[in-house]
A and B are shown apart, each in its own frame.
Chain A
Amino acid sequence: MIRFYLLAMGAFLALDLLPKSHRLMNALASGNALLHLALTCTALLTLDLPVRYGPSLYLDHLNLYVELITVLGFCAAAPYAKGYTESLMEEGELDPKNLKLFYLAFNLLLVTATAALFSDNLALFWIFAELTTVCAAVLVVILSARENIDAGLKYVFIVSGAMLFAFLGLIFLFTLSARALGEGTLSWTELMENASSFSPALLLASFAFVFIGFGAKAGIAPFHTWLPDAYARAPSVSAILSGLMQNLGIYGILRTYALLRVSDSAPQASFILIAAGLFSIALAAFSMLQQRNLKRLIAFSSVEHMGLLLIGIGIGTPIALFWALFYMLVHVLVKEALLFAAGILHRQYGSNMREDMRDVFKLQPRAAWTLILGSIAIVGMPPFPLFPAKFFILLESAEVSPYLTLAVLLLLILAAAAFSNFLLKAFSRVTEEGEGEHGKEPGYRKKSFQDPYVVRAGMRIPTVFMLALALLLGLWFPEPLKVLLEAIVLELGYV
């Protein structure tokens, strides 16, 4: 069945090669995202989950949910990409010849991610996850600037290298199943059914290897080093990196950890998760504190959030998992809004650096307010949905150890301080009357301070939409979402 999906999508992508105008290419990308959104929603509403089609296509609540998050991110990113790439081309940073490649990689990223999520076979999942790395790297290096090539290469080397370790883990899993069942298998469902009869030591070893690979994909410290570079360099698609790539890594970890829950080595595995999570949060919080580059600040905040997610998964109680899953969704919404707003500021100032930003409220009031509200949301302030998610994960973490709760709480405060520090310093710079048009301060590099960059509607609407959606989820928790999350918790065997 996956073959049919890939064939259909291949035809679609071939269609993608035809159009000459940017508008049409963008419309196709948006259409692709909307198509996937429609399919996902239909599957969620009509199918009696879990279902299996053929040997490799498998739909259950978890992968549909992650797909939903991914597709939401793409739906917002597609219209945004139009405005952003247009202004990149105006400034000569993006070669118009590369536009087709950009959209090809953009669409292909969604297709490979979808294929990865819905394949029941671990090896297929691995291949498609590797392919998403390649597509994302193409998106990062698309600009003619060489620093992008640098970031893209770093990304590919770190993630693919780590993914080879994940492959070692798969080999171990295959051996294990071959011993227990007589014939080796890498199917999630078959492994889930038989995991209790596997040898715990070997299972733990394979989990550790798989964790290295998908941890690197999710941007968990110490494999996160690609992330700040890629975020800072990628043109607008950094939003997709956070929305998709990182969740894909978390998805892999979640599935593999679910295998271990039934075996004797569950405590060690959850220790690995919690330790890696805590380390990520700590490292990110301290790196954020003196960060002067906006996109890097947001990137490290992603590392921090992935850490918290890992802790949520590692605690192992149903409540913690429930909120961790919810967290995956709202994190993407808020993070994309933040990155979109940061992209608008980058267009305005031609830089992500704090000292280049002046008169923000005069020039880009909407982006400024999005950043402020988004920061409030991302640090977990009440009206926004990250607050209950963080609150309950922290509450549950006390079950593991109260010191863990305390440590995480302190680090989260540190991260919040980093955000407010950045915003205060960046947004309080105002050009005084009579100071003149040519700034004398160091770091004052751009000439076009006086004229605001015209934000296209395609860029503005997704930004506001994501933030509004997040706010809505904070004020009102929809019943279907609750049912869906509870079903996932049950499916993963958390009782």
Chain B
Amino acid sequence: MIDPLYLEGVIKILFVFVLISAALIISTRSLASVLNTYTVQSFLLAAVSFLLYLIDGKSELLLLAGLTLASKVLLIPHFINRIEEKIKIRRDLDFTYLEPTTSLLLSIGLILLSYTFLSRVFGDLALSRLFFFGAVIGLSLTLMGMLVMFSRKKVITKALGYLSMENGVLMLGIFVTELPFILEVLIVIDLIILVLLTSILAVGLDSSIEEYRAKIRKLQIWNGGEAL
């Protein structure tokens, strides 16, 4: 049996890597490395839940680790990778509202915000330090994923932002409460949503939303080109 304290230490180190991966998704310009970062992030999540299983011995955690590994480390990245090859965009250079530096500063603010928020909310809830930090990291990851969806232009990066948000929600779920089994079902549902989204992308969408708005207006495919 491995010493639980040692495992906790490892988990804390993994937390730091999770945050770094979230920051990379916010700021990286190459689509391939955003995807790789997401894969690594999901892998970290699987590792965290596996380590927690070693500490707690709850079989749900092991299931979750396996499911995360299968779906988010292997299946989804593989699928997105194929679509990226199909649409032939390599980089997501443009940012809509926020430049990466601003978003990174903002995400530091978000981490602090989720820390203060959770320490107020969970003040009367006896959570151990590790679990409290896990919850904070989870919430920050969710908010940073939202930032990605908000600031990136390409739809694929937005989708990856959504997925990373979902990683954050899962993380919070692991640390705040004993996982209800429904969560596993939810992951499958999210998979469906993703598959749907990306298949739509593969069919028609090969440029960012704003760009083809402009294209449409020129082409007038749809009569009565829209006023915004």
Contact = CB atoms under 8 A, between A and B. Distances in A.
Contacts of B149: 157, 161
B209 A161 contact: no
A433 to B, nearest CB: 26
Given A127-B186, A184-B180, A201-B120, A171 B196 contact: no
A138 B193 CA distance: 11
Contacts of A23: none
Contacts of B224: 349-353, 356, 445-446
B2 interface: no
B142 interface: yes
B189 interface: yes
Name A's interface SS: helix
B176 A171 contact: yes
Contact of A293 (B117, B189, B227): B227
A123 B180 contact: yes
Interface in A409-464: 445-446
A35 B80 CA distance: 40
Contacts of B193: 130, 133-134, 156, 160
B52 interface: no
B38 to A, nearest CB: 16
Given A127-B186, A130-B193, A161 B177 contact: no
Contacts of A352: 224
Contacts of B146: 161
Contact of B177 (A93, A153, A171): A171
Interface in A164-212: 164-165, 167-168, 171-172, 174-175, 178-179, 184, 186, 199, 201-202, 205
A233 to B, nearest CB: 8
A178 B166 contact: no
Nearest to B150: A161
A123 B189 contact: no
A131 B182 contact: no
Nearest to A199: B124
Nearest to B166: A164
B212 interface: yes
A434 B224 CA distance: 26
A162 to B, nearest CB: 9
Given A147-B222, A179-B125, A356-B224, A171 B165 contact: no
Contacts of A141: 200
A124 interface: yes
Contact of B209 (A153, A175, A199): A153
A430 B178 CA distance: 68
Interface string B104-148: 000000000000010011111100000000000001001000100
A164 B222 contact: no
Given A161-B146, A178-B178, A127 B169 contact: no
Interface in A109-140: 121, 123-124, 126-127, 130-131, 133-134, 137-138
A406 B222 CA distance: 42
Contacts of A126: 186
B177 A145 contact: no
A171 B172 contact: yes
Contacts of A446: 223-224
From B124, B215, B224, residue with most partner A Cβ within 10 Å: B224
Contacts of B155: 153
Contacts of B227: 292-293, 353
B114 to A, nearest CB: 11
From B117, B169, B177, residue with most partner A Cβ within 10 Å: B177
A274 interface: no
A146 B216 contact: yes
Contact of A160 (B139, B162, B176): B162
A307 interface: no
B68 to A, nearest CB: 16
Interface string A348-369: 0111110010000000000000
B185 interface: yes
Given A168-B169, A202-B125, A147 B226 contact: yes
Contacts of A349: 224
A133 B176 CA distance: 28
Interface string B17-53: 0000000000000000000000000000000000000
A351 B142 CA distance: 40
Given A131-B189, A147-B222, A150-B209, A161 B178 contact: no
A468 interface: no
B77 interface: no
B162 A161 contact: yes
A144 to B, nearest CB: 8
A157 B172 contact: no
Interface in B145-178: 146, 149, 155, 158, 162, 165-166, 169, 172-173, 176-178
A249 interface: no
Contacts of B215: 146
A157 B149 CA distance: 8
B176 A145 contact: no
A255 interface: no
A167 B185 CA distance: 13
A310 to B, nearest CB: 23
Nearest to B219: A146
A175 B176 contact: yes
A386 B176 CA distance: 45
B137 to A, nearest CB: 14
A184 B178 contact: yes
Closest 10 A-B residue pairs measured CB to CB? A351-B224, A350-B223, A123-B182, A175-B177, A145-B222, A205-B121, A171-B173, A127-B189, A164-B165, A164-B169
14 contacts: A124-B182, A127-B182, A131-B192, A149-B200, A153-B197, A164-B162, A171-B177, A175-B125, A199-B125, A201-B121, A205-B117, A205-B121, A350-B223, A445-B223
Given A146-B212, A149-B204, 13 more contacts: A127-B186, A131-B189, A133-B193, A137-B196, A147-B226, A150-B212, A152-B200, A161-B146, A168-B172, A175-B177, A184-B178, A232-B226, A353-B224
